[in-house]
Amino acid sequence: MKPWSFRKKFVVGLVVVFGAFFVYRAVHSYIEDESNRISNNEILHLEINGVIMNGKKFLGQLKKYVKDDSVKAIVIDINSPGGAVGPSQEIYYEIMRAKQETKKPVVCVSTGLMASGGYYSALACDKIVVAPGAMIGSIGVIMEFANLEKLYDWAKIQRYTITSGKFKDSGSEYRPMRDDERALFQDMINEVYEQFRSTVASARNLKLDVVSQYADGRVMTGAKAVELKFADAVGTFEDATKMAARMAKLGDDYKMFKPKKPKMDFFDLLTMNEEEDDLNSLSEVTAILGNKVTASSVAGEVAHKFLKTKYMNQPMYLMPGYWE
């Protein structure tokens, strides 16, 4: 048998080291979570923070813990301006599924921002609690395009596309939008908007014409949202927790359980995506890499890049002004 070369040994060694590292992280994370769990009556504390890009981390935690026998209720703390349409709807449907399959009460709360896709997600909760000055609502859809034709002319760049149909390159940034393209996108916006509007009417038990009066993209205070029945009660996170405990008939005999957020390290750079928690975790990455640029500015620039490029040319449940 031919002896292994140094290169093959090195590759195998790397595989073993990486494998052992990821197994260690998984076991360590599980042990940390379980060490905090000493009660049979727990209220699961989950969060939806920042722009909703794909929601995978939130959904992963929801699915992991919702059927745990020790979890009797769920409180979801939301601080989000909304985000992509599909992920916002997915969060809504998965919260609905969790409620239907477990019969456990779910309370959503916001003391900051619960707008557009963030509000869509909250519509699945049994109750919505908001701080009186929180920003709520922004029921609507936005789709942004850019026309860089003059910039390309200035740079003496000509771009061309070969397509299989006249709408295949619709939204391209190097030419003006045709009238038929604008009409096509407007139809899409209207359809997605109707999905939002009808979901609000159904979830909040409001007449469609009442919802339509306020479903024009505006944001409102938490107090106004409660007054108009777009939310259930004015309060804080503590109030939402006590409400969930009452709904689960726990009295004062309960413990809050919040899954630990894994610390970000160098290896996470290999799998980092556009998830909102990844963007918010860049402070940890910059610390690891020794970046002299402030973490907040890096996170802001990355978030801006994603919103202004990758998430253009598609309908978004996002509050007004968040593009700038």
Tokens of 161: 């596309």
Give the three-class secondary structure for 110: strand
Nearest CA among 288, 283, 293 for reference residue 265: 288
Q: How many residues does the chain have?
A: 324
- The strand order across the sheet containing 106-110 reads 233-234, 127-130, 106-110, 71-79, 42-49, 255-257
Q: Given the residues 56, 67, 168, 249, select the one marked as catalytic.
A: 168
Residue whose C-alpha is closest to residue 196's, from 208, 178, 183, 187: 208
Question: Which structure tokens are listed for 286?
Answer: 């910059």
The answer to whether 316 and 83 are in contact (CB under 8 A) is yes
Out of 116, 121, 138, 281, the active site residue is 116
CA distance linking residue 36 with residue 257, whole number of Å: 7
How far apart (Å, rounded) are the C-alpha atoms in residues 108 and 100? 16
Q: In the annotation, is 198 catalytic?
A: no
For the record, the structure tokens of 285 come out as: 């990455």
Active site residue 116: yes
Residue 125 has phi, psi (to 5 degrees) of -75, 155
Smallest Cα–Cα separation from 52: which of 91, 98, 95? 91
Query: Hey, which residues are catalytic here?
Result: 116, 168
